[in-house]
């Protein structure tokens, strides 16, 4: 891709568990995974089942990179939280088996357990036949916090800084973080993904408020795209209040108050059919006309 270009692509939009295409889904059945990249920097957000097709896409590029003798191929994977639907694709991510790949894992410690320990636990012998150390890729692990921001300068490797000590540059590729507390057990992390003046706010697995949450509104202020959890209709939300997910109306309220240009409704309920989702989208557009359902395979560049 050209040096000046920024690309964003959606690989997984479902919540909780994957949905088979046999059930009929024009929006996609994989669980959460999105990617942001430039010509030499790749950042993946969450490793739901959507990371599996993403990995297959990257393999030819990795092999070409190796053929040119360019050293390690760096990939950064940032996690919003470590519930299983956001992790289940990782052992099937093809680049994790490639020795020429260096994976940089960035994510939260949860209920007192270090982030690296959480990832290693997922592939203990009781659960998976290949351990973290047996994956042939090079690996680095970093804990994310409320004050973390990630930037790259001109390097493919992430630079992890504390926003209290290092003021973010307003140019280039960078990610700022916000901890959101209303998701079961230990909250979740939201990310502002920024390329120069262009901003995508990634806010999945959050339970909103009627009228919007002021911290999130400020975080997403003037975003070009807000990707917001919208798992439920209003009727469903009444049944599942407290589960850590939002109704479409909550997402729309936040989008309005934050003055975002576009809202992508995300983390689709696996029990919702395409017709259910289209109805949800239609009702959301009555509140916020620039709302759309996120769809697996969508991409756009800047």
160 in a structural domain = no
CATH number at residue 103: 3.60.15.10
Give yes or no for a contact between 149 and 177, defined as CB atoms under 8 angstroms apart: yes
Q: Range of 53's domain? A: 7-152+170-296
CA distances to 31, 67, 104, 136, 243 from 97, in Å: 21, 17, 14, 5, 35
Task: Please state the pTM of the whole predicted model.
Answer: 0.96
The SS3 of residue 252 is helix
Token pair, residue 226, equals 């807000």
162 in a structural domain = no
302 in a structural domain = no
Quote the distance between the C-alpha of residue 37 and its chain's center.
Answer: 13
225 in a structural domain = yes
pLDDT at residue 43, rounded to an integer: 99
pLDDT at residue 187, rounded to an integer: 84
pLDDT at residue 242, rounded to an integer: 58
Give yes or no for a contact between 122 and 79, defined as CB atoms under 8 angstroms apart: no
Dihedral angle sign, alpha carbons of residues 73, 50, 26, 8: negative
For tokens 């490797």, the residue is 157
190 in a structural domain = yes
pLDDT at residue 21, rounded to an integer: 73
135 in a structural domain = yes
140 phi-psi bin (left φ>0, alpha ψ -120 to 50, beta other): beta
Count of structural domains, the chain: 1
1 in a structural domain = no
pLDDT at residue 238, rounded to an integer: 82
Residues of the chain where predicted confidence (pLDDT) is lower than 50: 184
pLDDT at residue 174, rounded to an integer: 96
Q: Name the residue among 164, 294, 252 with its Cα closest to residue 176.
A: 164
pLDDT at residue 213, rounded to an integer: 87
123 in a structural domain = yes
């Amino acid at each position: 891709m050209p040096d000046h270009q920024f690309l964003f692509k959606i690989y997984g939009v479902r919540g909780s568990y994957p949905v088979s295409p046999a059930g009929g889904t024009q929006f996609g059945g994989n669980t959460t995974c999105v990617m942001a990249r430039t010509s030499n920097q790749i950042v993946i957000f969450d490793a739901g089942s959507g990371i599996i097709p993403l990995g297959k896409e990257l393999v030819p590029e990795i092999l070409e990179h190796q053929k040119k003798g360019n050293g390690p191929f760096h990939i950064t994977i940032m996690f919003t939280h470590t519930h299983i639907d956001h992790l289940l694709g990782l052992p099937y991510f093809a680049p994790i088996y490639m020795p020429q790949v260096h994976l940089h894992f960035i994510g939260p410690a949860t209920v007192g357990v270090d982030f690296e320990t959480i990832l290693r636990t997922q592939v203990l012998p009781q659960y998976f036949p290949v351990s973290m150390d047996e994956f042939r890729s090079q690996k680095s692990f970093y804990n994310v916090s409320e004050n973390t921001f990630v930037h790259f300068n001109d390097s493919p490797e992430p630079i992890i800084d504390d926003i209290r000590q290092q003021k973010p540059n307003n140019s280039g590729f960078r990610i700022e973080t916000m901890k959101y507390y209303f998701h079961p057990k230990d909250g979740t992390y939201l990310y502002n993904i920024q390329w120069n003046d262009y901003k995508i706010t990634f806010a999945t697995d959050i339970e909103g408020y009627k009228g919007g949450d002021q911290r999130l509104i400020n975080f997403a202020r003037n975003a070009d795209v807000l990707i917001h959890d919208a798992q439920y209709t209003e009727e469903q939300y009444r049944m599942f209040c407290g589960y850590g997910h939002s109704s479409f109306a909550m997402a729309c309220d936040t989008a309005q108050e934050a003055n975002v240009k576009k809202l992508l409704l995300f983390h689709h309920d696996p029990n919702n059919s395409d017709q259910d989702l289209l109805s949800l989208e239609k009702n959301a557009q009555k509140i916020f006309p620039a709302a759309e359902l996120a769809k697996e395979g969508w991409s756009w560049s800047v």
